[in-house]
Amino acid sequence: MMTIPSPAKAEKAPRELFKNIAYDELRSRFDNRFYPPGTFLSERQLAEELGMSKTPVKAALERLELEGFITVSPQSGIVVRELSLDEITQMYEIRLALDAFVLRSLAGRLTSEQLAKWELNLERYAAAEGKPELLREAVLLDAEFHLLPSQFLGNKLIINTMQQFSVQIFQVINRVFSRLPSRVSQSLIEHREIVEAVRQGKGDLARELAEIHLRVGHEVLVQAFEEAMK
pLDDT digits (tens, 9 = 90+) for 148-173: 999 999 999 999 888 877 777 777 88
Flag whether pLDDT at 10 surpasses 90: no
Pick the CATH number of 7-80 from 3.20.20.80, 1.10.287.110, 1.10.1040.50, 1.10.10.10: 1.10.10.10
- pLDDT-derived band at 229, boundaries 50, 70, 90: low
- pLDDT-derived band at 228, boundaries 50, 70, 90: low
Which pLDDT belongs to residue 230?
A: 58
Phi/psi at 108 (nearest 5 deg)? Answer: 75, 5
Q: Is 71 helix (H, G, I), strand (E, B) or coil?
A: strand
Higher pLDDT: 225 or 141? It is 141
Per-residue exposure over 25-48, b if at least 16 CB sit within 10 Å of its own CB, e if not: bbbebbbeeebeeeeebebeebbe
Question: Computed from CA positions of residues 64, 67, 72, 78, in that sequence, does the dihedral angle turn out positive or negative?
Answer: negative
* Matching fold, domains 7-80 and 85-229: no
Flag whether pLDDT at 47 surpasses 80: yes
Which pLDDT belongs to residue 6?
A: 41
pTM attached to this predicted model? 0.75
Percent of the chain with pLDDT over 70: 92
Flag whether pLDDT at 176 surpasses 70: yes
Q: How far apart are CA 184 and CA 112, in angstroms?
A: 26
Flag whether pLDDT at 12 surpasses 60: no
Which pLDDT belongs to residue 181?
A: 83
- pLDDT-derived band at 74, boundaries 50, 70, 90: confident
Q: How far apart are CA 210 and CA 98, in angstroms?
A: 11
Domain ranges of the chain: 7-80, 85-229
- pLDDT-derived band at 39, boundaries 50, 70, 90: very high
Which pLDDT belongs to residue 221?
A: 78
CATH topology of domain 85-229: Four Helix Bundle (Hemerythrin (Met), subunit A) (1.20.120)
Q: Which of 147, 139, 148, 141 is nearest to 173 (CA)?
A: 139
pLDDT digits (tens, 9 = 90+) for 125-142: 999 988 888 888 998 899
Considering the chain, what is the average pLDDT of its residues? 86
Higher pLDDT: 199 or 143? It is 199
Flag whether pLDDT at 9 surpasses 80: no
